Amino acid sequence: MSILNQSTDFVYEIILVNDGSMDHTGEIARSIATSFDKLKVVDQCNKGVSSARNKGLSIANGKWVTFVDSDDFVVENYFDDLSRIIKSEDVDLIVFNYSYLKSGSIVSLGVSPLSDGGYKGKELVYRLLLDGKLTNSPCDKVFKRDLIGSIKFDEGISIGEDLLFLSSYLACVKCFYFLNKSLYIYDKDSDGITGRFLDRDKLRQISLVVSDVTVSVTDLKVNDEIINQFIFRTMLGYFLYKDIFLRLNDESSYLFREAVKNLRFDQVSGFKKKVFFFLLKSYVIWKFK
């Protein structure tokens, strides 16, 4: 409803993909659409978030595209802030800040990675992604629809699809604009991903995604330290649960093991993470000489 409540002169369309919901979501959405001509409702059987986003992309008409997940919401003047940039800046991507809804309170980010303004070169935006200062999510970004072209969210994987989509799109980016203002609120209270790292098949999926991303930055001036930190940070969660040694011995863990070997103790932040890293590195060096 935060999108429907926007007061703006900006011309936009909303595509709501009802991905096989079992409640009355579709019925409510179609009822609203009868009095809100900007809203298009599309029904499909449950195929997952990647399929839903691809469906929206396939019927979108606008020059720019962004995404809003069902549990999240946007701030007042969301469209006005974005339209100002679209009208005044010649860029391929818009990135903006975000906040979290946690335990009923909105939690803002700390230090922003950049100040307001336009930036040239894909090298910088790739570095932000690899450094963890840019989220994988498509929801705090606005994309040019013609640059998306044939890029799709991979419906064959259930983890890392956002990262893969973003990395593919960044290859087309020559310049981007960063807005140091929180326009999007992620609802962490409704986060349904808890426990996803327990599935060993997802380890194989994320390993392939990380491999693709590291290959995509091969020709850019990104040093090995940043890449190793990216691999370690992205894959670490898959080793925090049971079967840790089985997972480390899995062939899908090769990139992670190599990153652990090459990282130094001072390149890992946080006391608990440092302790875990020390134990991991000791085992990896001993087992995989």
- pLDDT tens, 211-237? 999 988 877 878 889 999 999 999 988
In the listed set 190, 207, 225, which residue is the last one of a domain according to the structure?
190
Same domain assignment for residues 50 and 100: yes
Q: Which residue has tokens 């890449």?
A: 227
Structural domain of residue 41, as residue ranges?
A: 14-190
Same domain assignment for residues 128 and 173: yes
- Listed residue (202, 268, 267) closest to 239, CA to CA: 202
Q: Tell me how long the chain is.
A: 289
Residue 9 inside a domain? The answer is: no
Higher pLDDT among residues 218 and 66, named by residue: 66
- Domains of the chain: total: 2
Residue 42 inside a domain? The answer is: yes
Same domain assignment for residues 153 and 62: yes
Q: What is the pLDDT of residue 80?
A: 93
3-state SS, residue 81: helix
Same domain assignment for residues 209 and 230: yes
Same domain assignment for residues 74 and 181: yes
Going by the DSSP 8-state scheme, the letter that residue 197 receives in this structure is G
In the listed set 136, 162, 190, which residue is the last one of a domain according to the structure?
190
pLDDT at 191 over 60: no
Q: What is the pLDDT of residue 64?
A: 96
Same domain assignment for residues 119 and 19: yes
In the listed set 190, 207, 227, which residue is the last one of a domain according to the structure?
190
Same domain assignment for residues 27 and 72: yes
pTM over 0.75: yes
Same domain assignment for residues 181 and 42: yes
Q: What is the pLDDT of residue 195?
A: 46
Same domain assignment for residues 201 and 180: no
CA distance 75 to 47: 29
CA distance 220 to 255: 19
Q: What is the mean pLDDT of the chain?
A: 88
Same domain assignment for residues 154 and 70: yes
Residue 6 inside a domain? The answer is: no
CA distance 9 to 221: 42
